[in-house]
Structure 1
Amino acid sequence: MEPSVTAVFEPVTCTWQYIVSDPSTRSAAIIDSVLDYNSTTAAISTRSADALLSIIAEKNLNVTLILETHAHADHLTAASYLQNKLSDPQAVDGAGSVKPPICVGERIKQVQSTFAAKYGMSEQEYAGVFDKLWNDDEEFAIGGLSARAVHLPGHTPDHMGYHVGNNVFVGDSIFQPDVGSARADFPGGSAPAIYDSCRNKLLSLPGETKIWVGHDYPPSSNSPEDSGRAPRPWATVDEHRQHNIHLRDGVGREDFTQMRSTRDSKLSAPRLIDQALRVNICGGRLHGFEKDGDKVVKLPQGMVAETMASWRGL
């Protein structure tokens, strides 16, 4: 069976969020949700997450899983907020109300350790915040749909994709064919690993397989008559093999690695890197982020510059 997929684009961070459901049982999973962040006031809001909840209610879906592809460095996850909103206080077992588990790859521990040290966090703040840590190629179900967690290292060491039917939700492993590939300069990142993940795992799948991306950044048009294309959530394996500007057929591992490393050396830090990682290694939990009744993220001044400099060994 094939899933029903609802793709919701968040334009501030250019993030694709997904609701993947089993048409027969209405069981569903949420993939890579967004918590809104105002960089001017440092305030957090839930507009994007509430829009997902409205779709879920409208379609009468039962969310059984909240999936993260990795610890995002460019947006805050709404996983914890959604989990609390989707808990069922009537379905009580020995441990209390039933909540959809928040799931991520088991190598999240490596990322948590790296950034907890950077932000001066205690282990109590992040240990055990995720309900399920996937092993490589671990199988699971969304209602009656069979799914598999696929390790896709390169962008980050913890990165996972989710293979459901004829679809793979790949986070930041690969972008649309006219955009190319994700950066590989984060701690534990690797350009050769991105190449291997994309060419050997994703682009070796049947040509009609849909690859659903975590972001889309449509290239700007050079023509005033052409406004360019709209953000697009998926392209097929065949489209990538023929047209992906970084990973199409004929591009070798060495050439890709050189291109990716050169591009990454010129990129600035993601705008919300520290705010995002400070929250995301905690699964989206916001305990202690309070100021005048608002949820905020507070970080030491200059942290972004220090983080990127330390990553690149400057």
Structure 2
Amino acid sequence: MHDAAIQAATAQIRRTEEGSAPAPVVCTFFDEATNTASHVVHCPVTKQAAVIDSVLDYDAAAGRTSHGSAQAIVDYVEREGLTVEWQLETHAHADHLSAAPWLQEKIGGKLGIGADIIRVQNVFGKIFNAGTRFARDGSQFDHLFTDGETFRIGELPVTVLHVPGHTPADMAFVIGNAAFVGDTIFMPDFGTARADFPGGDPRPLFRSIRRLLSLPVETRLFLCHDYKAPGRDEYAWLTTVGHERAYNIHVHDGVGEDEFVEMRTARDATLAMPRLLMPSVQVNMRGGHLPEPEADGVSYIKIPVNRL
């Protein structure tokens, strides 16, 4: 099937590999508490940068936030002399809170996410009974990306790909010869993301993954999570299209859509809900902002009983 967005992404990857465009510089910050990899990617020529999938530290037992993980990003940006143009979210995460608004105050950057965040806001706005004061139009974000959209970070070309399945709003950002793929796919020995959250679906997830794996085999894939598969002692978040196609335990070449859907559905039925799902979604659907304070000036996280 003709896919202009994939063709555009493939062309920019080829240009980067040929040396006619700069390769992105990537520094990853791994938060072991949430198994999340946040990435700072920058243009080596202009020093313009984007932060992807940042983490706000959250102590669920105490109900307190802190900024140690995000401060490490600030320190790196300042040390390297970077200018942050974007705070990018691959989707509204269910396993960690976004630090994007706090980072915007410290180092700047427009906050961007996929346009289908509106669908997520509608679904979870009802689940959490967020009321009419919660806007369900994506207005909490500075920019809503659509499939195939292109822009630049300095001299780095960026192509945005819609890759639904884990959630309806997942986006991948192809930056030079690197793709930041969020939760669609994991390291080859761990497999793929779950698709059982409200709005998730394993069938479009399979198609999204195969779309990503149609990029050139040398494309670097930067992942959002790692859980150290059995037998592996170190966390990892960088792989390639070619390695995934050859070795991913769930979607290597030769695995069909129906086979994947059957596997993913059965596997998801055994998984517990993420530990931080309740606070994460309520904050992330608001662009990383806490719910509006109540009359006492305090923000509250709701826990809908027997709802999920």
Instruction: Report the TM-score, using the length of structure 1 for normalisation.
Output: 0.87
- Contact kept, 8 Å, 2:43 with 2:153, in 1: the verdict is yes
In 2, the alpha carbon distance for the partners of 1:156 and 1:198 equals: 13
1:42 pairs, out of 57, 63, 76, with: 63
1:220 shift after superposition: 3.2
In 2, the alpha carbon distance for the partners of 1:110 and 1:82 equals: 25
Number of matched residues?
Answer: 285
For 1:276, what is the secondary structure of its paired residue? helix
Deviation readout 1:81-135 (Å, 9 max, x if unpaired): 1112224xxxxxxxxxxxx210000000010111111212134334511010001
Instruction: Give 2:6's aligned residue.
Output: none
- Contact kept, 8 Å, 2:282 with 2:301, in 1: the verdict is no
State the 4+ residue runs in structure 1 displaced beyond 4 angstroms.
289-293
1:143 shift after superposition: 0.9
1:30 equivalenced with 2:51 (yes/no): yes
1:298 equivalenced with 2:301 (yes/no): yes
1:274 equivalenced with 2:278 (yes/no): yes
Instruction: Give 2:220's aligned residue.
Output: 210
1:72 pairs, out of 85, 90, 93, with: 93
The one-letter amino acid of 2:306's match is E
Identity level (%):
41
Deviation readout 1:221-275 (Å, 9 max, x if unpaired): 3xxxxxx331112111111111100000111111000000001111111111110
The one-letter amino acid of 1:133's match is L
1:144 shift after superposition: 1.2
Instruction: Report the TM-score, using the length of structure 2 for normalisation.
Output: 0.88
- Contact kept, 8 Å, 2:57 with 2:67, in 1: the verdict is yes
Deviation readout 1:43-77 (Å, 9 max, x if unpaired): 11111111110010010100000100001001000
The one-letter amino acid of 1:114's match is V
For 1:148, what is the secondary structure of its paired residue? strand
For 1:198, what is the secondary structure of its paired residue? helix
1:198 equivalenced with 2:201 (yes/no): no
The one-letter amino acid of 2:281's match is L
1:288 shift after superposition: 3.6
In 2, the alpha carbon distance for the partners of 1:56 and 1:119 equals: 36
For 2:133, what is the secondary structure of its paired residue? helix
The one-letter amino acid of 1:50's match is Q
Deviation readout 1:264-297 (Å, 9 max, x if unpaired): 111111111110001000001125458999x865
- Contact kept, 8 Å, 1:43 with 1:296, in 2: the verdict is no
Instruction: Give 1:90's aligned residue.
Output: none
For 1:66, what is the secondary structure of its paired residue? strand
- Contact kept, 8 Å, 1:166 with 1:210, in 2: the verdict is yes
In 2, the alpha carbon distance for the partners of 1:260 and 1:49 equals: 33
> What is the root-mean-square deviation of aligned Cα atoms in Å?
1.8
The one-letter amino acid of 1:41's match is A
Instruction: Give 1:118's aligned residue.
Output: 127
For 1:154, what is the secondary structure of its paired residue? coil
For 1:125, what is the secondary structure of its paired residue? coil
In 1, the alpha carbon distance for the partners of 2:288 and 2:89 equals: 11
Gaps in structure 1 of 5+ consecutive residues: 88-99, 222-227, 309-314
